Amino acid sequence: MDSSNRSRYVRVASVLLTLAIVIGLLPFRKVKADSGSVTENDLKITYKTVSAWGELTQSEVTVENTGSKPTEGWQIEFTYADTTTVSSIWNAVSSPLDVASPNKIVVANESYNAAIKSNEKITFGMITQGKINEIPEIHVISKEDIPEEEKESNLFTYAIFSQSGFSFQGWKSTITGDVYTGSNFDYQGSELNLLGNLDAVGRINANGYQMNIGKRNEGVKPTTAPDFAKSIEAMASRMTPVDPSAFNDNKSIVVNGYYSQSGNLNISGTQFSGDCVIITDGDITYNVDTLSGEGRVVLFSRNGNVTINGSKISINGIIYAPKGSVNINAYDTSFNGRIIADKFNYQGSIFNATASESDLELLYELPTIHITADPTSIELGESAIFSVVCEEEETPYEVKFRLNGEEVELAEDMTYTLTPEAAGEYTLEAYVEL
């Protein structure tokens, strides 16, 4: 090739980086009901009117598993001719009224009847308000049919996870996120606002003045939290080690980086702040007046307890004590993150906890992606396609892409088509902002 042709030659490079892509799903598939009965997705749904008066209709619905495996939950959509609302429902839960589709009702299982064995059935009832004696259209919704934005995430959902027990003694609490306890949920307080699900293997004992709980689930099947040890240790390995002398100041302690200790760690001072990961084999105990919410903190005790004693506590991050207790003794606590422990105990006055998806960046390792280019060499006027192949299905990280430093967006099939206007080398990379 002569020199004039060489100037038209383009090199295409690919970068191996970390990210994950949430799998897209198909839209709902709807099935027309036939005389109040429909079979779809291995479920037979039979709708029967029991009685009607005024604008109210009482109906009985039977859900039968016609498949060969137990169900892992079920969801049914009822479509009426006119606006219809649920006045009462038992043995199932209904979603709030959809203003855009006021003639539709979506009903799902309770925790205790999610699993229906093969050839067995369950029954639920409801009272609806609308046109009486109307047999609705019935649509069985499968997991594969749920749109991506409505699909339940496989990522860790709990704001507070206690394997053995949950105990609260204080005035009031607001918890944004789900709560799990492998035993009883014992709440001794005046007010509780829990914006999420409350899952208890045992009983829910919460009888204060004002108890607002999103959804109470007693007698749930026991579960275990994922093992986050390797992820936390991997994150710590990327940080700067902290010298033990950083904990010697009895007034203001600032720790930025990674600190590990084989035994117990006691931190005492007036204030504590920093962006750090602290890992011990034994107990981690804070005795501070104020724990600052600046930065993000991960406290990981492999075999012991994490105890925080103070007055005004503000934490952004993770407390992880899989074999011990998390004990918070403070007048006013504000926690933005996740608490995962064998037991959770709170004594104080005000406790507020908020979980968000960004917290999970502290619990999950960076996922892996492979980016390839085909072809790897082109001439001006030709095109090359970058293809992305992911090893993980979900990630809490927001992943972005850039071509030679400029941010770009991929197509829905996770490809990027390059048609360069100038000769040179073009590199597509993926990145996350931490």
CA distance linking residue 159 with residue 338, whole number of Å:
5
Mean pLDDT of 223-236: 92
Is a pLDDT exceeding 90 seen at residue 199? yes
Mean pLDDT of 1-26: 37
According to the model, what pLDDT value does residue 144 have? 54
Higher-pLDDT residue of 148, 351: 351
Mean pLDDT of 251-269: 89
Mean pLDDT of 44-49: 92
At 293, the pLDDT band (50, 70, 90 cuts) reads low
According to the model, what pLDDT value does residue 143 have? 60
> In what helix (H) or strand (E) does residue 230 lie, and over which residues does it extend?
helix 229-237
Higher-pLDDT residue of 288, 264: 264
According to the model, what pLDDT value does residue 295 have? 80
According to the model, what pLDDT value does residue 394 have? 78
Mean pLDDT of 36-64: 90
The least confident of 28-42, 96-110, 136-150, 411-425 is: 28-42
If you search the block for the tokens 């619905």, which residue do you land on? Answer: 61
CA distance linking residue 365 with residue 235, whole number of Å:
7
The least confident of 143-147, 301-305, 375-379 is: 143-147
Q: What percent of the chain has pLDDT over 70?
A: 87
Neighbours of 361 (CB within 10 A): 19
According to the model, what pLDDT value does residue 130 have? 86
The number of helix segments (H) and strand segments (E) in the chain equals 2, 31
Beta-sheet strand order (sheet of 137-141): 93-94, 104-108, 75-79, 137-141
If you search the block for the tokens 């979900």, which residue do you land on? Answer: 394
Mean pLDDT of 327-353: 95
Which of 203-207, 253-257, 345-349 ranks highest by mean pLDDT? 345-349
According to the model, what pLDDT value does residue 146 have? 52
Mean pLDDT of 13-39: 41
Per residue in 77-129, pLDDT tens?
A: 999 888 888 888 898 888 755 656 788 888 988 878 888 999 999 999 998 88
According to the model, what pLDDT value does residue 299 have? 95
Instruction: Give whole-number Cα distances, 147 to 23, 24, 76, 115, 240, in Å.
Output: 10, 8, 15, 22, 42
Is a pLDDT exceeding 90 seen at residue 345? yes
CA distance linking residue 415 with residue 434, whole number of Å:
24
At 134, the pLDDT band (50, 70, 90 cuts) reads confident
Q: Is residue 245 a contact partner of residue 225, using CB atoms and an 8 Å limit? A: no
CA distance linking residue 340 with residue 351, whole number of Å:
16
